Structure 1
Amino acid sequence: MFKKVLVGLDGSELAYSALEKACELCKNFDSELNIVSVFRHHSFIEGSLSMVRGATEYENMDDVLGQYAKEVVEDGKKIAYNLGLNKEKVKGFIRSGQVAKQILHFAKTNNIDLIVVGKQGQGDLTGYLLGGTSHKISGLAKCPVLVI
Structure 2
Amino acid sequence: MEIRKILLPTDFMEGASGAADYTADLAKHYGASIDILHVVYDVASAVGWYMPQLSYDEFYKDIEKNALKELEHVYEKQLKDVRSVNRFIARGNPADEILNYASTNRIDLIVMGTHGRKGIDRLIFGGTAEKVVRNAKCPVLTTRINEHSTVMVHNELAPTTNTG
Do 1:117 and 1:147's aligned partners in 2 also have CA atoms closer than 8 Å? yes
Q: Aligned in 2, Cα 1:93/1:103: closer, same or farther, shift over 3 Å?
A: same
Please, which of 71, 74, 98 is the counterpart of residue 72 of structure 2? 74
- Residue 126 of structure 1 is matched in structure 2 by none
The answer to whether structure 1 residue 112 and structure 2 residue 107 are counterparts is yes
Please, which of 63, 76, 79 is the counterpart of residue 65 of structure 1? 63
Q: Secondary structure at the match of 2:74?
A: helix
The whole-number CA distance in structure 1 between the counterparts of 2:104 and 2:11 is 21
Answer with 1 or 2: which has the greater Rg.
2
Letter in 1 for 2:42: H
Letter in 1 for 2:99: L
The whole-number CA distance in structure 2 between the counterparts of 1:92 and 1:77 is 11
Do 1:6 and 1:36's aligned partners in 2 also have CA atoms closer than 8 Å? yes
Do 1:15 and 1:117's aligned partners in 2 also have CA atoms closer than 8 Å? yes
Correspondence 1:94-133 to 2 at 5 A: 94-120=89-115, 130-133=125-128
CA-atom RMSD in angstroms: 2.0
Q: Aligned in 2, Cα 1:79/1:25: closer, same or farther, shift over 3 Å?
A: same
- Residue 85 of structure 1 is matched in structure 2 by 82
Identity between Structure 1 and Structure 2 (%): 32
Q: Secondary structure at the match of 1:105?
A: helix
Do 1:38 and 1:69's aligned partners in 2 also have CA atoms closer than 8 Å? no
Q: Secondary structure at the match of 1:14?
A: helix
Following superposition, the deviation at residue 29 of structure 1 comes to: 0.4
Following superposition, the deviation at residue 131 of structure 1 comes to: 2.4
The whole-number CA distance in structure 1 between the counterparts of 2:108 and 2:82 is 18
The whole-number CA distance in structure 2 between the counterparts of 1:141 and 1:75 is 28
Q: Give the structure-2-normalised TM-score.
A: 0.68
Following superposition, the deviation at residue 79 of structure 1 comes to: 3.4
- Residue 143 of structure 1 is matched in structure 2 by 138
Q: Which blocks of at least 5 consecutive residues in structure 2 are unaligned?
A: 45-54, 117-124, 144-164
Following superposition, the deviation at residue 67 of structure 1 comes to: 2.1
- Residue 40 of structure 2 is matched in structure 1 by 39
The whole-number CA distance in structure 2 between the counterparts of 1:35 and 1:78 is 12
Following superposition, the deviation at residue 73 of structure 1 comes to: 1.7
Q: Aligned in 2, Cα 1:30/1:11: closer, same or farther, shift over 3 Å?
A: same
Q: Give the structure-1-normalised TM-score.
A: 0.75
- How many aligned positions are there? 123
The whole-number CA distance in structure 2 between the counterparts of 1:35 and 1:68 is 15
Q: Say which structure, 1 or 2, has more relative contact order (CA 8 Å, 6+ apart).
A: 1
